[in-house]
Amino acid sequence: MHYLDHAATTPLVPAARAALIETLDLVGNPSAVNAAGRAARRIVEEARERIAAALGAHPSEVIFTSGGTEADNLAIKGTYAARHTAEPARTRVVTSAIEHHAILDSVDYMTESSGATAVFVEPTVVGAIAPDALTSALGDGADVALVSIMWGNNEIGTIQPIAQLAAVCRELGIPMHSDAVQAVGHVPVDFSASGLDLLTLTGHKLGGPVGSGALLARRDAALAPQLHGGGQERKVRSGTLDARGVHALAAGGGAVETAVAGLDDEMTRVIALRDKLIRGALALGLGIEVTGAWTPGSAADRLPGNAHLRVPGADRDALLFVLDAAGISCSAGSACTAGVTRPSHVLTALRIGDADAAGALRFSLGHTSTEEDVDAVLAVLPDAVARSQAARGAA
């Protein structure tokens, strides 16, 4: 099998697997005061310190969660609730239409349940959010509760100018969150230097276990809890902490440390594979187009492992079926919307018509990807395109 769906989930890195195995028999609740509990707490706090050091944060800014969706929900709902309660005039939530559904659906929930007003900053044709566009959307910012713009798009791979966007928000005293699930471990991420107030990361996108993640939140960030119970994690995220999961995520050379420590070399390697795939697909003479920004040899504007292609006149389901039958795992977009037949909301926001969006394919490479994987895709793609176009024509 040639696995090119790392943006959906990526295999465990060896260090994370070893860390997980060594703690499988761990007993003790990290909140308990007995010896077993204290041992579990040491594991959790070491993980907190290691994540903070790797990502330019203070340990107290690391709030452990079950993953990206929970962290996004806490960031959106928790910030809005805290800000709106303190200043009722702050009802606007500013984001973009190309966000992950963990953001978009959280914003929708706040508009339906809490009187929020959603404002969507329009992206450029390559999916970038310009600082000037954000400035226009904010106005004087007096009625804005928060801003949320993702670091790197999970479908088309476009990277946003986060530091510039955060500077716009900071000047107006507006907290800014970024879903950095696709960025952490794949491009340089420094929480302090970014100017952000909140940042989401998750383990299974960078070689850690599913079910482990974190929200980085500045110490002065106002957050209302969305889970109530024991008051763990700064009293904003109650629940018994998964010491095994956070250990594999961070401690003892776990997933975050492994990804960050080898980032430069891995970026260079994966970018070369990405560019070979994109160039090879364009050279097939099938009319294939690249979605989003792409500067060959660079990760300044596109995630290193993302190759989002649009095949003219093709049916994405037929494409995926033929590729899967040939042993190639990829996707048409976010795995969180798999099985949904309507066009991708990201491509719609980029004003790409339904006909062009129908043949969208996302190949995403990661730490196990090789040139053989890319060669396999390019070898089978002409047949997959021909068969999918025939299927669409027959329909």
Q: Please give the Cα distance from 6 to 10 (Å, whole number).
A: 5
Query: Which candidate in 119, 272, 336, 349 is catalytic?
Result: 336
Q: How many residues does the chain have?
A: 395
223 three-class SS: coil
Residues 6+ apart with CB under 8 A from 360: 291, 308, 309, 310, 311, 316, 332, 333, 344, 347
Instruction: Give me the helices (H) in the chain, please.
Output: 14-22, 35-55, 68-73, 79-86, 101-113, 131-138, 162-171, 191-194, 243-249, 255-261, 263-282, 316-325, 345-349, 354-357, 371-394
Q: Do the beta carbons of residue 76 and residue 110 sit within 8 Å? A: yes
Q: Output DSSP code: residue 76.
A: I
Closest to 316 in 3D by CA, of 299, 333, 301 = 333
Q: Do the beta carbons of residue 231 and residue 239 sit within 8 Å? A: no
State yes or no: is 336 an active-site residue: yes
| C-alpha distance from residue 40 to each of 43, 104, 241, 287 (Å) | 5, 35, 9, 56
* Angle at the Cα of 110 from the Cα atoms of 239 and 235, rounded to 5 degrees: 25
- Please list the active-site residues: 336
